[in-house]
Amino acid sequence: MSPVTIREYGVLYRAETDSLNVADNLDSREITKTAWDWLLATTGTDEHKFLVKPIRRNNQIGLQVVNYVGVITTPCGYQIEILPKIVSHLNENDKKYLKTVRKKLFTMLNAVQRLKFKSFHNASLEIFDQPLPDVLIRIFLEEVKMLIKKGIRNDYVSIREQTPFLKGRLKVAAQIRQPVGRQHLFQVEYDEFLPDRAENRLIHSSLKKVAKWSHSVGNKRLANELLFVFDDIPVSMNTKLDFNRWLDRDRSMVHYRGLKEWCELIINEESPFSLVGHQHGLSFLFPMNDLFEEYVARCLEKRLAHGFGLTEQKPQKYLAYRETNQGQKGLFTMKPDIVIHEGTVENSISILDTKWKRIEQEKSYENGSEDYKRGVSQADMYQLYAYGQKYLSGKGNIFLIYPETDKFKLPLPAFDFGEGLKLWAVPFVWNDAGDYIEFGESEVCGWIDLTKSNKISV
């Protein structure tokens, strides 16, 4: 079955028949009965409560996916691809739209995750003309292809066997117990330089899995070609032990680095962020709130001026204290997304908080009165005000960073808390040449390196 593609907050409907009639709409899709029933049955459990939620729309019951992106594979083998709502200059009906969004998602993952896609940057946009599982499989296959070009490493393997001639070390005890009719054979043990080592066994096992999972003819062909190279190497019979034997610090194994995480993802069916269940196929899900926060932090790190630093979720401070028998007890821990500091970590000079939400730049009206909030949450304002008081002593600049949308492309005018504390709502702009934060005329206090550009890009 071909995977179904939907965007964040899209709605999945149960097909009335096994023969699907899927509407060409990224925000509304039909899925098979078995897949829909499984998602509905698991909704509300600890593993799946944040993945989908029941919703009634157009007099029909549907399952709305929330802020997770990636791929979920159901036990029946059905795959659902969830893409982020990222602004693109292309219309969503354009054939290049899905390619662009998938590539942007991999750009974010490559920037923040331990999985480093070496072959990703040089990859043609054409590989993104397929669902995310096949894109991921293709990048893994390209990594293995690069490994083979650089050479598969061998290691000494201990072999025990009976030979008609003496070779290696004679096992005296076993030779004495040799039956009369086989005394002409030698019980020997010797070392042989073979590619049968933990790393190659795990890669072989991973190749066999992705060859079965892929829906792409090109991926299957490439996987079979690579499997031919590993034909003399057995698959891993004890993956946990082989992962422990993987040599990460050996200089001769430098070109193997990075493939270990790939093999863990494939063999254990684990995701760098969060996996919903262990299915018979490749499943990986990433919460966009966390992914967006880390991606913004990586972008900022590259453009900080000399002498300034960045911390995530640190330093942690308490909103209030209470006297106890053991002294003062801190209550209500505060953990800002990003703290800019000068010199020491304690010397905080600016706070940035990321929100994977949509706000509007234009003025909106409610009941005839003009609304100047532009969709900024009151709870977020209280939260950032508390950060400003505790981290900046009530003076300085705080930033709320929202993703760019069609209705939010420029920073909003400052929200003035008074006494020198201001809050700026600014967009994170998606750009083919490099994503960046559009600070506009906000007071960034010199902690951005403006020698290269007035925009912070990837």
Question: Who's near 449: CB < 8 A, 6+ residues apart?
Answer: 303, 304, 305, 306
Torsion angle of C-alpha atoms 248, 252, 255, 260, degrees rounded to 10: -30
CA dihedral of residues 404, 405, 407, 409 (deg, nearest 10): 30
In this predicted structure, what is the pLDDT of residue 22? Answer: 47
Q: How far apart are CA 103 and CA 121, in angstroms?
A: 10
Q: Return mean pLDDT, the chain.
A: 79
Do 395 and 418 contact (CB within 8 A), yes or no?
Answer: no
- The residues near 187 (Cβ < 8 Å, ≥ 6 apart) are 160, 162, 170, 171, 174, 175, 178
Confidence of residue 154 (pLDDT cuts 50, 70, 90): confident
Q: What angle do CA 277, 283, 288 make, to 5 degrees?
A: 95
Contacts of 216 (CB under 8 A, 6+ apart): 130, 134, 137, 138
Contact criterion met (CB below 8 Å) for 262 and 140: yes
C-alpha distances in angstroms, 19 versus 14, 16, 76?
A: 11, 8, 15
**pLDDT over 90 (residue 226):** yes
Instruction: Check whether 336 has a pLDDT greater than 80.
Output: yes
Cα of first residue to Cα of last residue in the chain, in angstroms, is: 37
Does the pLDDT at position 204 exceed 90?
yes
- pLDDT, residue 227, reads 92
H or E segment at 199?
A: helix 198-213
The size of the chain, in residues, is 458
Q: Note the pLDDT of residue 213.
A: 81
pTM over 0.95: no
Question: Strand locations in 150-253, DSSP E?
Answer: 155-163, 169-170, 186-194
Q: How many CA atoms lie within 13 A of 57 on its CB side?
A: 15
What are 38-77's pLDDT values in tens digits?
888 776 655 545 678 888 887 888 888 887 888 887 777 7
In this predicted structure, the answer to whether residue 174 has a pLDDT above a threshold of 50 is yes
User: Do residues 285 and 69 make contact, with C-beta atoms less than 8 angstroms apart?
Assistant: yes
- What's phi and psi for 7, nearest 5 deg? -95, 165
pLDDT band at 456 (very low <50, low <70, confident <90, very high): very low
The residue among 359 and 50 whose pLDDT is bigger is 359
pLDDT at 275: 38
Mean pLDDT calculated for residue range 136-159: 85
Residue 26 has pLDDT above 60, yes or no: yes
Q: Tell me: the pLDDT tens digits for 393-447?
A: 889 899 999 998 888 888 888 889 988 899 999 999 888 777 888 888 777 777 8
The Cα 438–Cα 441 span in angstroms is 9
Q: How high is the pLDDT of residue 354?
A: 92
pLDDT in tens, 247-282: 877 777 888 887 888 888 788 765 443 334 444 456
